[in-house]
Chain A
Amino acid sequence: MIEARRISKRFQSTSRGVTAALHEMSISIGDGEFVSLVGPSGCGKTTLLNLVAGLERPDDGEILIDGKRILGPGPDRGVMFQDPALFPWLSVSENVAFGMKELRLPRALREERTRKYLSLVNMSGFAKSWVHELSGGMKQRVALARALALEPKTLLMDEPFGALDPKSRDSLQAELVDIWQKTGKTILFVTHDMAEAVRLGSRVIVLRARPARVACDVDVAALLPQPRHVDHPEVVELAAHLKGALDETGEREAIDGDGDGSERPETHLAGGAGGRGVAHWLGLHL
């Protein structure tokens, strides 16, 4: 159980003075949930993830995991970033074993888990490869294995598939859902791609920016069963409606128009009735 209670985070920048990335936000995530956190850039979704990861501290409020306050990074939370951040001086298997070595796990256990998680992400054949020999998708697979190897209860993922080609992204999305179903981990998945959020999450939390707050919170699992696909009409439709909900709150520049979204043109969804609200759509389909 992850509980964020009225957390605020401000950043000092030389050009714009103090900006509030998060203002008194409260969110709670239950065990085993797969939460997609989606919103335009500047909505504080990455900040929220960094706070849960313990990489940053909130200025106000507190975040609890199973009732305990987060004071820093910990092996109970595995983190994956958009940049795979694999260490090029280590082989693939040494990368996967990095955290286990920090935890001083015995060698036999390290080797066993390295094998197990490399095979889980379909990278068994690359244990001895060097990082520079891998493609972008393969690197993210290894990064996923590295995060899983510490067997964390929670996986925190910050746009991990954002820089991948559509094909790799598609297969990694399917594998992630598969791994989630097999392991029952709690996953917090940050993305700015609404279709990806809907395709993956058992629950989608849409944030809006300035001031950052929750625009809507949808229990997708109750509406659309897995396996879903980004091209499924229901996924496309729900994504469009959620985007519509954001647009209604005056966040047109949002989601895809914002520089960091422009690299992914396939996330532009045609159609969708911006005027109709999510509640209306949900009402029609339930």
Chain B
Amino acid sequence: MLAVGALLIGWACISRFGPWPRYMLPGPGGVALSLGHSLRTGELGRAVATSLYRLFAGYAMSSAAGITLGVMLARLSWLRAAVGPLVVGLQALPSICWLPLALLWFGLSEKAILFVVVMGSLLSITIATESAVRAVPTMYIRAARTMGARRLRLYTRVILPAALPGIVTGLKLGWTFAWRSLMAGELLYVAGGLGQLLTLGRELGDMAKVMSVMVVIVILGLGFERILFGNVEKRVRERWGYAQAEAA
């Protein structure tokens, strides 16, 4: 709390006494006013809803596909040999670089932005899942086989649960990437959403608006990452006994 307070005071001071005029660097008060205004007009609410919808849709697709692909890569050595290097290579590509292709393939549509979001998070989830599944102790699988678990049941009842802590870490990372990809995509072209609100603010020269949207983006990103994923990750690691091992 103290740190946040100090930050706000510092920001207010720079805004007031700094080298930039107020309209270039508004203070916390101006930003709060702008935030209140866009909340009242419903502009902010609509943008948040649009962005979150895109985020959830893209993220749901990339989670499902990423976990499936990750498990397959971990268990099928021929597939790993064939596309493993490609997955690692493509993961190094910032997902916004897919935007030109996405625009050609899907046109100026929701599909294009979803594609960018999916490409942003898919491969990091894939890679995390693959390494988590490969790290599942063979002892678990042997024990499960002696108790009659076979084929698909072996995956759903043993391999996936055993790999869950690693998968959750991958999902958290994927979430962050999906969020960033979405903002980059929206900022560049797409209608609606928080990214576009940023562009709008810039075009109007309304820096208070720009900064208020930035604050909202940080709050949303942090909120989901820390509160949702942080708690899930912590609970999973405790249950699986990792937290204890780390403390010891």
Residues on A facing B (Cβ under 8 Å): 53-55, 72-75, 77-79, 81, 83, 85, 87-89, 98-99, 102-103, 130-132, 146, 150
Contact = CB atoms under 8 A, between A and B. Distances in A.
Given A55-B145, A75-B148, A77-B146, A83 B139 contact: yes
Interface string B221-248: 0000000000000000001110010000
A89 B158 CA distance: 9
A150 B146 CA distance: 10
Interface string B118-159: 000000000000000000010110111111110001000110
B164 interface: yes
B162 A85 contact: no
B147 A75 contact: yes
Contact of B162 (A55, A89, A103): A89
B241 A131 contact: yes
Contact of A98 (B142, B147, B164, B241): B147
B161 interface: yes
B241 A87 contact: no
A85 B239 contact: no
A53 B146 contact: yes
Contact of B142 (A81, A102, A131): A81
Nearest to A146: B147
Contact of A85 (B143, B157, B161, B240): B143
B145 A103 contact: no
A72 B10 CA distance: 70
Contacts of A85: 137, 139-140, 142-143
B137 A89 contact: no
5 contacts: A55-B145, A88-B240, A88-B241, A103-B148, A132-B239
The residue in A53, A72, A85 that gathers the most chain B C-beta atoms within 10 A of its C-beta is: A85
B195 to A, nearest CB: 39
State the 9 A-B residue pairs at the shortest beta-carbon distance, nearest first.
A132-B241, A99-B147, A85-B143, A102-B148, A79-B146, A85-B139, A89-B161, A73-B146, A88-B240
Given A130-B239, A132-B241, A87 B146 contact: no
A83 B141 CA distance: 12
B65 to A, nearest CB: 24
Contacts of A131: 241
B239 A87 contact: no
B189 to A, nearest CB: 44
Contacts of A130: 239, 241
Contacts of B142: 55, 79, 81, 85
Contacts of B158: 87
A180 B113 CA distance: 65
The residue in B137, B147, B241 that gathers the most chain A C-beta atoms within 10 A of its C-beta is: B147
B240 A89 contact: yes
A102 B153 contact: yes
A55 B146 CA distance: 8
Given A54-B146, A77-B146, A102-B147, 9 more contacts: A72-B145, A73-B148, A75-B148, A83-B137, A89-B161, A98-B149, A103-B148, A132-B240, A132-B244
The residue in B142, B148, B161, B244 that gathers the most chain A C-beta atoms within 10 A of its C-beta is: B148
Given A83-B139, A102-B153, A89 B146 contact: no
Nearest to B154: A102
The residue in A54, A74, A98 that gathers the most chain B C-beta atoms within 10 A of its C-beta is: A98
Contacts of B239: 88-89, 130, 132
B94 to A, nearest CB: 35
Contacts of B145: 55, 72-73
B147 A87 contact: no
The residue in A78, A83, A103 that gathers the most chain B C-beta atoms within 10 A of its C-beta is: A83
B40 to A, nearest CB: 47
A98 B244 contact: no
A87 B161 contact: yes
Given A81-B139, A132-B240, A132-B244, A87 B148 contact: no
Contacts of B148: 73-75, 99, 102-103, 150
A17 B240 CA distance: 38
B140 A150 contact: no
B211 to A, nearest CB: 44
A135 to B, nearest CB: 12
A131 B143 CA distance: 15
B236 to A, nearest CB: 8
